């Protein structure tokens, strides 16, 4: 399992995940806000399974 989520992408995923979970926990949005667990997990792990079929990676290229 190689990392395929780069720096800015990771930060954006973590922030979006925390915001969605926070909104769901406070009742601001419905239960769908708990979907924030997915971007939070992929941001923290640095690996996104949805990138695999398309061969995508936002990590910096190694020389």
Instruction: Write out pLDDT tens, residues 35-59.
Output: 999 999 999 999 999 999 999 999 9
Domain membership of residue 62 (yes or no) is: no
Give the domain range for residue 38.
7-47
Domain membership of residue 58 (yes or no) is: no
Extract the tokens encoding 45. Answer: 């792990």
**Residue-level pLDDT at 1:** 75
Domain membership of residue 20 (yes or no) is: yes
CA angle 16, 17, 19 (to 5 degrees): 65
Number of domains in the chain: 1
Domain membership of residue 16 (yes or no) is: yes
**Residue-level pLDDT at 19:** 98
Question: pLDDT band at residue 8, thresholds of 50, 70 and 90?
Answer: very high
Domain membership of residue 36 (yes or no) is: yes
Domain membership of residue 18 (yes or no) is: yes
Domain membership of residue 61 (yes or no) is: no
């Amino acid at each position: 399992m190689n990392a395929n989520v780069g720096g800015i992408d990771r930060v954006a995923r973590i922030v979006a995940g925390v915001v969605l979970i926070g909104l769901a926990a406070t009742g601001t949005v419905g239960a769908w806000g708990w979907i924030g667990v997915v971007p939070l997990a992929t941001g923290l792990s640095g690996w996104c399974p949805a990138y695999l079929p398309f061969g995508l990676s936002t990590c910096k290229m190694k020389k």
